[in-house]
Structure 1
Amino acid sequence: MSKKRMVIALGHKDLGFTLPELKAATEKTAVMIADFVENGYQVALVFSNAPQVGMIHTAMKNLAEEYPDQYVNTPLSVCSAMSQGLIGYDLQSSVRAELVKRGIYKTASTILTQVLVDPYDESFYNPIKKVGKIMNAEEARREEDNGNHVTMISEGKFQRIVSAPIPKSIVEIDAIKALLDADQVVIACGGGGIPVLRQGNNLKGAAAVIEKDRTAGLLAKEIDADILLITTAVDHVSLNFGQPDEKALDKMSIEEAKQYIKDGHFEFKSMQPKVEAGIDFVEAGNGRRAIITSMELAEKAVAGLAGTTIA
């Protein structure tokens, strides 16, 4: 009997914000992952990279400003690739160590993953994702002179904003499938993947970021997973979040989830992409479940005892 497959999308709460936090967080996260492997699941991991890619982008920008004769500004796509290696390294090391501790001898491998996006995606005309260093007015003006978009985040403080296009296809999907077929743990599509545009035979990095939950849903469809598990800062999805009449949801049908989105119950930059990814995944096959919960309740949620399930 073939094993069940699970895609786990890890939020940045489960990975920390600094390098020391990242190492400690991946060791904790590895316990949950190893539990699922020990229980017979084939696991593919996707992770958030927002704090890390921002750190890298800021560091590389500062380096170019301090040593203009030696360094040039690093494209955001390259910063995304660097963050995949940074987080993937600690994550695969921690997962391997936890598996070996349990007598399970299989690798965890990070795949540098590119994700194709549509050059005509409407988000390219309406950038919303903040990235990189906080700038003063003069720095913001220079950023705009370089052809980038900025937004004021408070009086006299600005930050670059980029697009968040919808992922269309995963370039390295065959490599991901091959590792899963070999019953190995796969870490892929970090940060939603490196957004790329097709130009003839070449792929060109785009100045954008992709919602990691949307890519996790796409990956789950492509590998024919049974479960899409999205970990986040809350234990469940709620209606009227943060209000006196807040209502936790333990399950939603596809139709109910779509109606809740239409009624504006979910914040469009945080919870809504998670719910939409769950809908898209569940709709694409029979017997699938999408689960949204905290990492602490992940195992209970997969058992149907916690979190919010879309089915």
Structure 2
Amino acid sequence: MDDNQASRAVPASPTPTVVVAMGGHAFMLPGERGTHEQATQNARAICSALMVFVEAGYNVVLTHGNGPQVGDLLDQVERTRDHIPTRPLDVLVAETEGSLGYLLQRAMLNELRQRDVRRYVVTVITQVLVDQHDPAFSNPTKPVGPSMTEAVAKQREAEDGWAVKLDGKRGWRRVVASPRPKKVIQRHMIREAAYRGHIVIAAGGGGIPVTKDAASNDYVGIEAVIDKDLTSSVLATDVRADLLVILTAVDGVYINWGTDHETRLGAVTMAECRRYIDEGHFPAGSMGPKVEAIYGFLQRGGRRGLITDAHSLVDALDGRAGTHFVGRI
């Protein structure tokens, strides 16, 4: 049975499904050090906000970023490389999928129990297929890990084959490719678990990037970072979500951001969204991937998208806040 046949074999859920994507900074607020206690408290707070979807009767799939956390792991690897065997980036992504998934899973279970809601929560260590010939591998741009002096960076470049670049005032850093996600390997399992009413945490950090070995056809890990919003968009299509929500630090999407004419967008059609993208309103380093993720989801048949912050969720679901993206109108 091929992928399309397998997808058609699973009937659509009579219950609406939402995919909610949040950044890794949901676990570490501005000014915090990212301690375990802080991450635990922040996970509980975000899960409390997300209960609005449970109370509204949605099947729920959660995705999350891991930037600060995988950066800390890379720093640990660098500091102990002379004493402990190093681990590749794809393994570190898997480790943060597990650790952050655990914090969310525990927090969500506690929120459900507090409300006497009988639903299970499961974390899926998620592999995401990327194309080993993606142009991103020819031009790595995503900074990862700690800052270094130029001398150390050039040494790592020579000894380990790293690509390194000067990252503004932060100094020299390793840069890796950020290829586009092609397929979520565990998509059928995630969809079926969500359809059964379980809350699924998946695709942490954009998922573990894997490629297909040309000789053996085996999946192999590759050192890269996938944008978590783009992966969430692909996953939302795979699970036939009715709604894709991307949580960010601001209450909605703005055009003319940072000027006297900045305006929050309310409801946006696909045609309007495309025009704003083409006019350059959404920079690649901030709102660009989020808007692109929503737009791609709608292009592939998704019904609705929403970008807002966690504090505005209740109002946003009632149409009083956030930026709403709608399909063919």
TM-score class, shorter? over 0.9
1:106-132 CA distances to partner (integer Å, 9 max, x unpaired)? 211110000000111111112111110
Residues 1:156 and 1:304: Cα distance change in structure 2 (over 3 Å) = closer
Q: 1:193 aligns with which of 193, 196, 207?
A: 207
Which consecutive unaligned segments of at least 5 residues does structure 1 have?
Answer: none
Q: 1:2 aligns with which of 14, 33, 47?
A: 14
Say whether residues 1:117 and 2:130 are aligned partners: yes
**Contact 1:61–1:74 (Cα < 8 Å) also in 2:** no
Of 223-232 and 170-179, deviating more is 170-179
User: How far off is 1:155 after superposition?
Assistant: 6.4
Partner of residue 75, structure 1 = 88
1:243-280 CA distances to partner (integer Å, 9 max, x unpaired)? 12111111211111111111111111221111111011
Measure the CA separation in 2 of the matches of 1:274 and 1:85: 24
Measure the CA separation in 1 of the matches of 2:156 and 2:285: 24
Tell me the TM-score normalized by structure 1: 0.95
**Contact 2:233–2:244 (Cα < 8 Å) also in 1:** yes
Say whether residues 1:226 and 2:239 are aligned partners: no
SS in 2 for 1:236: coil
**Contact 1:137–1:156 (Cα < 8 Å) also in 2:** no
Partner of residue 305, structure 1 = 320
Say whether residues 1:45 and 2:62 are aligned partners: yes
Which consecutive unaligned segments of at least 5 residues does structure 2 have?
Answer: 1-12
Amino acid at match of 1:263: E
Measure the CA separation in 1 of the matches of 2:118 and 2:169: 54
Residues 1:221 and 1:156: Cα distance change in structure 2 (over 3 Å) = closer
Partner of residue 168, structure 1 = 182
User: How far off is 1:7 after superposition?
Assistant: 0.2
Residues 1:62 and 1:284: Cα distance change in structure 2 (over 3 Å) = same
**Contact 1:114–1:170 (Cα < 8 Å) also in 2:** yes
Over 2 Å off, 4+ runs: 153-157
Say whether residues 1:36 and 2:53 are aligned partners: yes
SS in 1 for 2:273: helix
SS in 2 for 1:167: coil
Measure the CA separation in 1 of the matches of 2:218 and 2:274: 37
Q: 2:286 aligns with which of 239, 255, 270?
A: 270
Query: Greater strand percent: which structure?
Result: 1
**Contact 1:150–1:158 (Cα < 8 Å) also in 2:** yes
**Contact 2:25–2:68 (Cα < 8 Å) also in 1:** no
User: How far off is 1:156 after superposition?
Assistant: 8.7
**Contact 2:24–2:205 (Cα < 8 Å) also in 1:** no
Of 95-104 and 9-18, deviating more is 9-18
Partner of residue 301, structure 2 = 285
Say whether residues 1:294 and 2:309 are aligned partners: yes
**Contact 1:37–1:43 (Cα < 8 Å) also in 2:** yes
Partner of residue 88, structure 1 = 101
1:163-217 CA distances to partner (integer Å, 9 max, x unpaired)? 1111000011121122112210000000110011111332111111011000111
Partner of residue 71, structure 2 = 54
Measure the CA separation in 1 of the matches of 2:148 and 2:274: 39
Of 144-153 and 154-163, deviating more is 154-163
Measure the CA separation in 2 of the matches of 1:155 and 1:282: 38
Amino acid at match of 2:284: F
User: How far off is 1:162 after superposition?
Assistant: 0.8
Residues 1:32 and 1:156: Cα distance change in structure 2 (over 3 Å) = closer
**Contact 1:115–1:193 (Cα < 8 Å) also in 2:** yes
User: How far off is 1:154 after superposition?
Assistant: 4.2
User: How far off is 1:157 after superposition?
Assistant: 2.3
Measure the CA separation in 2 of the matches of 1:231 and 1:150: 31
Of 269-278 and 86-95, deviating more is 269-278
Q: 1:137 aligns with which of 150, 169, 172?
A: 150
